[in-house]
Structures are given as C-alpha cells and as structure tokens.
C-alpha cells in the first residue's frame, strides 16, 4: 500500500476545505460583500449578524485549539504589525468588493455557479495583482513608515495580556447580544429555494472550516497571494526577465512548518509552485468546483450574460481594486474577518475600520453611477 506523501496530503486537505466552502457559500449565498452592501443600501442586517456569529465562533474555536496545543505558531504566519495603510487598504477593498459584486472568495463561488460578471472580476483581480507588483517597493516603504506598534501583532500582545482575558468577555458579551437579537428578530430567512442553507448555519460551518485550516495547515483560510502568483505565471510567459527582476515576485514572506506533516512551507507571490501554491491553489479550485457542483445538483448552473456594459465594467474595475487592496492591506476580508479578528490581530481590526466606509462609498458609486438609469 502506497503511503500518502505530505505534499499530497496537504493538497487533499486544501481541496476538501475548498469544496466544502464552495458548497456552503453557494447554498447560503454567503457573500461578505453583499452583507455590507445590503446593510448600507437597504438597512438589512440579518447577514451581518450571521457574520458576527461566525467571528465569535471562530474566536472560541481558535482559542480552544490554541489552549489544546493544536496551534504551534501563534499568532499565525503572514500577520504583521499594524499600520495606517491597513485602514486605507480596507477602504479600497470595501469599494472594490461592492463594485465587483463579491470579494476575492465570493467571486470564486459565484464564478463556479456560472456568473460571467464574476469571471470578469476574476480577470480584474489578476490584472490588479500584476499592477501591485510594480508598485510594491514604493508601497512597502510607505507601510514601513506608517507602522504604529512595531513589536505587536495582536491586541493582547500590545496590552501585555493573555489572550483569554480579552477574548473571554468579548465572546460572552457578543454571544449575549446575538441571543437577544435572535430572540427579537430571529435567525431564519424565509425562502422557497431548494437546497437553501440558512446563513447562520453557513457562518458556523465557515468558522469550523477556518479552524480546521488553522489546525491542519497552520493558517486560517486565505487565497489572495495566489492571485498574484497566477498573475506572475501569466506575465512570465511573454516577460520572464521582467518577472525575475520584480522585487515582489521574488519575495518569500511565508516560512512555516506545517503542524500536521512537519513539512517546511516557503512561498510568496512569484510564479513558482511553492508552499503558497501548495496550500492555496487547491482551496481556490475547490471553491469553484464545490459551488459549480452545488449549482448543477440544484439545476441552477447557467451562464448569465445579459447585463448592461456598465455592470461588466464595474465588475472589472472592482476586481482590480480588490487585488490592489488585498496586497496593500495586505490580505482579504475573509482572512481578516474570519481569521485575524478572532485572534484580535491589529492589522485586521484596522482593516475593518476602513472596510465600513469603503463599503458605504462603494454602495454610493454603485447606485449613482453603475446602476444609474438616466
């Protein structure tokens, strides 16, 4: 019997996480971009409450895993000290996700279910990632000058407190608020759609998937560096020497030991099939296939073409902005909201501060420019 190699095992885990996430997000239409957009445009807040539930569940699960000794690296890799640029990146990301009709993860599950605008947004994400690589040295210097607390990554570190001292009260108070809101306003979304997954359950399942990723891979779910990697692979076809000279594509920000296999993972945004590709590519493929399979099983898969040109342009521009913001922040809303905030990462808290006005501004642009009827 042939044993499973560490590389194959990590590929299988990533694919499994992605497939499950794709099905869950498609069945619940769990779009983080839509949550913020609909709150600012229509004052609908049920989905945001399910996001808060997912964050609190992730807090509890992450800390439980850490206390059980299942998280050897804490805070986890790819988190850095807070900087004012995290706020700017959050603003830009908020605008981009509303214009694109989805975040970097939402774009994938909608693409899998047949959305042509999401395919256009995906192309914008690749272009934006390539554009960021050209401006990386300049932006990295600005970020270095804007660092606020060089020696701290999380709020407990900055305050010199054990994580449970802050996490415990937050989980308790947050849970009480959610229980009160649930009693007064309910959690159930009425729908006649076949196979529909209630958003509160989707939030809990995504929190569980993030925890499994943290324990099995060593990091929560995250995929944005792979957009840059894909862009580098495409750019390297006609311009291999330029890619080889580009500082961002040569950087290797990830160096970690996988807790499950002991395999050392190194990687960055360059075109190589490295540790980043090993843990992120299967998740990307899985989300697309999972959502596609879910849509096919429900008889819902169909390409949707008939949209005004302005909406296609909005999707493309939104994708470009998403990619730029994901590198400038760095990382995306799924990483920060369901990965960083549960450990009170300062980068993630600042990103969220910027995300709110960015989503509001994106909604204004959407209604006054993109969807303008006259």
pLDDT tens across 180-207, in order?
988 888 888 887 778 999 999 999 999 9
pLDDT tens across 67-92, in order?
999 998 899 999 999 999 999 999 99
The secondary structure of residue 77, as a DSSP letter, is T
Q: Both tokens of residue 373?
A: 């009827």
Residues 6+ apart with CB under 8 A from 273: none
Average pLDDT, the chain: 95
What pLDDT is recorded for position 374? 61
Cα–Cα distances in Å, from 101 out to 57, 95, 120, 149? 26, 10, 11, 34
Cα-flanking dihedrals φ and ψ of residue 257, to 5°?
A: -105, 125
| Burial degree of 101 (CB within 10 A; 0-12, 13-18, 19+) | buried
The secondary structure of residue 368, as a DSSP letter, is I
- What's the rounded Cα separation, in Å, for the pair 295 and 313? 25
105, pLDDT greater than 80: yes
- What's the rounded Cα separation, in Å, for the pair 346 and 326? 16
pLDDT tens across 203-254, in order?
999 999 999 999 999 999 999 999 999 999 999 999 999 999 999 999 999 9
What pLDDT is recorded for position 373? 67
Which runs of consecutive H residues, i.e. helices, occur in 251-308?
A: 275-297
Percent of the chain past pLDDT 70, that is, above it, reads 99
Beta bridge partners of 154: 345
- Please provide the DSSP assignment of 157-172 as one string: HHHT--HHHHHHHHHH
pTM of structure: 0.96
Residues 6+ apart with CB under 8 A from 129: 227, 228, 230, 231, 269, 323, 326, 327
Residues 6+ apart with CB under 8 A from 333: 32, 33, 93, 97, 103, 104, 351, 355
What pLDDT is recorded for position 178? 94
Cα-flanking dihedrals φ and ψ of residue 256, to 5°?
A: -155, 160
1, pLDDT greater than 80: no
pLDDT tens across 161-174, in order?
999 999 999 999 99
Tell which residue, 286, 172, 169, 275, has the closest CA to residue 229.
275
- What's the rounded Cα separation, in Å, for the pair 234 and 240? 10
264, pLDDT greater than 50: yes
pLDDT tens across 4-15, in order?
899 999 999 999
| Burial degree of 13 (CB within 10 A; 0-12, 13-18, 19+) | buried
The secondary structure of residue 189, as a DSSP letter, is P
Angle between the N-to-C axes of helices 46-67 and 32-42, in degrees from 0 to 180, rounded to the nearest 10: 140
Q: Both tokens of residue 168?
A: 């415990």
Q: Both tokens of residue 195?
A: 């196979």
Tell the residue number behind the tokens 């190699």, with chain if given: 5
Percent of the chain past pLDDT 90, that is, above it, reads 91
Which runs of consecutive H residues, i.e. helices, occur in the chain?
A: 6-28, 32-42, 46-67, 84-100, 104-112, 116-145, 155-159, 163-185, 199-216, 224-236, 240-245, 247-250, 275-297, 309-328, 333-335, 346-365
- What's the rounded Cα separation, in Å, for the pair 57 and 175? 9
Q: Both tokens of residue 8?
A: 């194959």
Map out the domains of the chain as residue ranges. Answer: 6-370
Query: Within 10 Å of residue 274's Cβ, how many Cβ atoms?
Result: 17
State which H helix or E strand residue 254 sits in.
strand 254-257
What pLDDT is recorded for position 187? 87
pLDDT tens across 130-154, in order?
999 999 999 999 999 999 999 899 9
């Amino acid at each position: 019997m042939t044993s499973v190699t560490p590389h194959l095992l990590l590929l299988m885990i990533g694919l499994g996480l992605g497939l499950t996430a794709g099905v869950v997000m498609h069945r619940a239409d769990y779009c983080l971009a839509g949550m913020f957009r609909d709150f600012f445009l229509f004052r609908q807040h049920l989905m945001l409450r399910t996001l808060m539930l997912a964050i609190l569940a992730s807090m509890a699960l992450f800390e439980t895993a850490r206390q059980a000794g299942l998280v050897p690296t804490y805070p986890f890799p790819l988190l850095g000290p807070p900087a004012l640029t995290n706020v700017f990146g959050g603003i830009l990301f908020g605008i981009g996700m509303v214009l694109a009709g989805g975040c970097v993860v939402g774009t994938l599950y909608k693409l899998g279910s047949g959305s042509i605008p999401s395919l256009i947004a995906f192309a914008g994400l690749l272009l934006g990632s390539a554009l960021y690589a050209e401006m990386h040295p300049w932006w990295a210097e600005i970020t270095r000058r804007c660092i606020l607390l060089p020696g701290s990554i999380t709020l407990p570190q900055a305050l010199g407190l054990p994580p449970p001292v802050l996490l415990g009260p937050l989980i308790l108070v947050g849970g009480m608020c959610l229980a009160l809101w649930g009693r007064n306003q309910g959690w159930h979304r009425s729908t006649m759609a076949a196979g529909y997954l209630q958003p509160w359950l989707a939030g809990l399942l995504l929190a569980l998937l993030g925890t499994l990723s943290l324990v099995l891979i060593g990091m929560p779910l995250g995929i944005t560096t792979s957009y840059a990697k894909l862009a580098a692979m495409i750019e390297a076809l006609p311009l291999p020497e330029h890619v080889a000279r580009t500082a961002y594509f040569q950087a290797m920000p990830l160096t970690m030991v996988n807790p499950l296999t002991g395999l050392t993972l190194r990687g960055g945004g360059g075109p190589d099939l490295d540790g980043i590709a090993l843990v992120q590519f299967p998740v990307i493929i899985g989300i697309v296939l999972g959502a596609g399979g879910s849509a096919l099983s429900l008889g819902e898969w169909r390409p949707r073409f008939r949209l005004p040109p302005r909406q296609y342009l909005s999707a493309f521009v939104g994708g470009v902005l998403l990619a730029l913001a994901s590198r400038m922040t760095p990382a995306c809303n799924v990483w920060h909201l369901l990965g960083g905030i549960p450990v009170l990462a300062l980068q993630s808290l600042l990103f969220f501060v910027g995300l709110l006005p960015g989503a509001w501004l994106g909604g204004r642009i959407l209604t006054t420019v993109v969807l303008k009827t006259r």
